[in-house]
Amino acid sequence: MVNTTIKTTKSQEVFAAAQNLMPGGVSSPVRAFKSVGGQPIVFDRVKGAYIWDVDGNQYIDYVGTWGPAICGHAHPEVIAALHEALEKGTSFGAPSVLENVLAEMVIDAVPSIEMVRFVNSGTEACMGVLRLMRAFTNRDKIIKFEGCYHGHADAFLVKAGSGVATLGLPDSPGVPKSSTSTTLTAPFNDLEAVKALFEENRNEIAGVILEPVVGNAGFIAPDAGFLEGLRELTHEYGALLVFDEVMTGFRIAYGGAQEKFGVTPDLTTLGKVIGGGLPVGAYGGRRDIMSMVAPAGPVYQAGTLSGNPLAMTAGIKTLELLQKPGSYEYLDRITKKLADGLLQVAKETGHAACGGQISAMFGLFFTSGPVHNYEDAKKSDTAKFGRFHRGMLERGVYLAPSQFEAGFTSLAHTEEDIQQTLVVARDVMSSL
């Protein structure tokens, strides 16, 4: 039956040693499990839908290295392609055919993208797109939404105030007020708030950037008409619409949320899946806007490792695998089974919960909901989520260590994995 006795001695030793070596013992904050309590497990290896920790425990994984592993970890075809590419060298710092291949695939897939620039991370993609938005419109202000994450660049590190749309204050020490004074925020799914900001800042707003389906405040879908409304408002006020599809690109659908919802932004950022597990980001969009990027135009942006041949190779192979007929139908089917199943289990075990799923992205909030924005999401019982997370982990299911992160499935997850996960979830929720 369900394994409840897991030993994590080695994980604890490694993580304890890491505390002295790296801030918080990690290379990225959420990995430290601060918001769920308890110790993180230390990974040894990953394959398909599974991960193994340094103590030899196996887990079903719903983090997928935060999104890239949509074909499953260490897919044999991706690994084989990487071996071949490796023999030709690890970095060129010069043009390569691989960049053309991935660029063409991205341009063919993503409706808004006519030209693309490769970078090394989602953060970098969002930084590049921000400069471009401002340069193209000759305006400085931007609108972002509460709870949406666009990487850690200064201008995006703004948590909104209460429910009211307001001028942003920095979210972290070290971010000067001057860097965020041009960042306006609105609640997600609130077109009126966006319209009000446009009215108050006429001819000053370069554009609106958003996660078209939110993943960084937990899973929050756009209300019917929200994305369309933003498209209309940005047109009306001469501003650009930017979809940050670093998470949703090639996950919500092959062409991203813009394909799924039929709303085409002016610019798009990508990352995660297009690197197939290697470090990649990209931004792209209308040819007239992208033509402003150096050296075609005056907007500077560069990168020593950008377009890295290994990263391009992993990205190309991953997209090829996703092109196989039925990929997205499969992802949607198993993920729906999981998301519906979790809600059903919560209901039967007496927990207020809401959540949902689109394609291979899902979420579960411990609140009765509905959740339309970050304020709603924050009503969740995060202490309960922490206990749920720990219980699942101890029984071999690895969930994102925060109530405010989306979950991810992959082509490697089987019906049996989902079934097993629901059995475990019932066990855990019964004792929460």
Ligand X SMILES: *Cc1c(COP(=O)(O)O)cnc(C)c1O
Contact set with ligand X (CB under 6 A): 121-123, 126, 149-151, 211, 215-216, 244, 246-247, 271, 281
Shortest separation between residue 281's beta carbon and ligand X, angstroms = 6
Shortest separation between residue 375's beta carbon and ligand X, angstroms = 19
Shortest separation between residue 47's beta carbon and ligand X, angstroms = 23
191-200 and 226-236 helices cross at what angle (nearest 10)?
10
Shortest separation between residue 26's beta carbon and ligand X, angstroms = 13
Least Cα distance to 372 among 143, 188, 102 occurs for: 188
For tokens 């074909």, what's the residue? 71
Least Cα distance to 260 among 328, 326, 319, 327 occurs for: 328
At 361 the three-state DSSP class reads strand
Reading the block at residue 316, the tokens are 């190309």
Q: How far is CA 29 from CA 8, 20, 32, 232, 378, in A?
A: 21, 15, 6, 37, 19
Q: Of residues 272, 337, 376, 398, which has the active-site annotation? A: 272
Shortest separation between residue 269's beta carbon and ligand X, angstroms = 7
| Residue facing ligand X at closest CB distance | 122
Query: Is residue 272 annotated as a catalytic residue, yes or no?
Result: yes
What is the spatial distance between Cα 204 and Cα 399, in angstroms, rounded to a whole number? Answer: 42
Nearer to ligand X, 60 or 282 (CB): 282
Q: Is the dihedral of CA 172, 174, 176, 180 positive or negative?
A: negative
For tokens 């135009």, what's the residue? 297
Q: Of residues 149, 254, 283, 328, which has the active-site annotation? A: 149
Nearer to ligand X, 278 or 322 (CB): 278
Nearer to ligand X, 157 or 428 (CB): 157
Q: Is the dihedral of CA 358, 363, 368, 374 positive or negative?
A: negative
Nearer to ligand X, 237 or 374 (CB): 374
Query: Is residue 141 annotated as a catalytic residue, yes or no?
Result: no
Nearer to ligand X, 54 or 406 (CB): 406
Query: Is residue 149 annotated as a catalytic residue, yes or no?
Result: yes
By annotation, the residues acting in catalysis are 149, 244, 272
